[in-house]
């Protein structure tokens, strides 16, 4: 949460373009020792979060919202988080993000409340919090008014299915490397063509998976 108070997300919170609230599932346990986890049926290593406190925490949040929210469970078993999904979430108004801990959450409560299972990549984090912050960050910058005019979200990586072209600022020469001459030419049509070609080359080299999709869409 602290991380969100810095930089662009921090400014967006202060300007009330977005609001982020953390709810501690532990506050909703009926267990006298405040436990929220237990052993898994069927055996196996690790503990599982119980359905009751997760459900109670969700209900307390949902009761304050006007309509049924999208409820996103962060898990390595989810669909990959992409720019398209970030855009989709940014148009939802309200989002509830559920962060698992331990080995996960009792499947029964997930079945009842979760609308989307989302993974931020093929690796396992110790909990869903960092993944939730990634989602909050990527979604926030697509909310109207969050980025100011000079921070446009239009002409960037993944817009159009390509990685972004390389960019340069002053000075013209640095460590013996020159800014590509075309960028100094003032010929906007030529610059646009050059940038598209660079974006295509980069995508083909670094993300052949994306390039294949791009090619299929541009046949
Ligand atoms: N929780 C643990 N690992 C995760 C991942 N890769 N994505 C989303 N949530 C997670």
Of 103 and 115, which is predicted with more confidence? 115
Ligand 1: residue whose CA is nearest its atom 10: 75
> Residue with structure tokens 């960092």?
130
Query: How far apart are the C-alpha atoms of 95 and 135, rounded to whole Å?
Result: 10
89: CA distance to ligand 1 center in Å? Answer: 18
pLDDT, position 158: 84
Report residue 24 as tokens.
Answer: 């501690």
- In the sheet with 70-80, reading across from the earlier edge strand, the strands are 95-99, 70-80, 116-119
- How many angstroms from the chain centroid is the CA of residue 91? 14
Dihedral of alpha carbons 188, 194, 197, 203, sign:
negative
The residue-averaged pLDDT of 89-98 equals: 97
Specify whether the CB–CB gap between 73 and 105 falls below 8 A: yes
SS3 label, residue 79: strand
The residue-averaged pLDDT of 179-202 equals: 98
pLDDT, position 113: 98
Report residue 143 as tokens.
Answer: 């909310």
160 lines ligand 1 (CB under 6 A): no
In tens, the pLDDT along 3-44 reads: 898 899 999 999 999 999 999 999 999 999 999 999 999 998
Is residue 123 over pLDDT 70?
yes
Ligand 1: residue whose CA is nearest its atom 5: 76
131 lines ligand 1 (CB under 6 A): yes
pLDDT, position 159: 78
132: CA distance to ligand 1 center in Å? Answer: 9
Give the lowest-confidence range in 33-47, 144-158, 180-194, 196-210. 144-158
pLDDT, position 193: 98
In tens, the pLDDT along 126-137 reads: 999 999 999 999
In tens, the pLDDT along 55-83 reads: 999 999 999 999 999 999 999 999 999 99
pLDDT, position 155: 60
> Residue with structure tokens 């083909």?
204
pLDDT, position 37: 94
pLDDT, position 154: 67
In tens, the pLDDT along 137-177 reads: 999 999 999 999 888 766 677 878 999 999 999 999 999 99
Ligand 1 atom closest to the Cα of residue 100 is 1
The residue-averaged pLDDT of 202-208 equals: 98
């Amino acid at each position: 949460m602290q991380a969100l108070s810095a930089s662009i997300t921090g400014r967006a919170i202060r300007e009330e373009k977005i609001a982020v609230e953390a709810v501690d599932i532990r506050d909703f346990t009926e267990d006298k020792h405040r436990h929220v986890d237990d052993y898994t049926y069927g055996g196996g290593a690790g503990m599982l979060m119980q359905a009751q406190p997760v459900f109670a925490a969700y209900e307390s949040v949902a009761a304050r919202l006007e309509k049924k929210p999208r409820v996103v469970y962060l898990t390595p078993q989810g669909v990959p988080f992409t720019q398209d999904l970030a855009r989709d979430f940014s148009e939802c108004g309200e989002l509830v993000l559920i962060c698992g801990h331990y080995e996960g959450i009792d499947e029964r409560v997930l079945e009842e409340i979760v609308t989307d299972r989302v993974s931020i990549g093929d690796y396992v984090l110790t909990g869903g919090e960092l993944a939730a912050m990634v989602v909050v960050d990527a979604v926030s910058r697509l909310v109207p008014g969050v980025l100011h005019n000079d921070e446009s979200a239009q002409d960037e990586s993944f817009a159009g299915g390509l990685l972004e072209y390389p960019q340069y600022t002053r000075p013209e020469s640095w460590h013996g490397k020159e800014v590509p001459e075309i960028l100094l030419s003032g010929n906007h049509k030529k610059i646009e063509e050059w940038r598209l070609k660079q974006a295509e080359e980069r995508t083909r080299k670094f993300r052949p998976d994306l390039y294949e999709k791009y090619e299929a869409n541009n046949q």
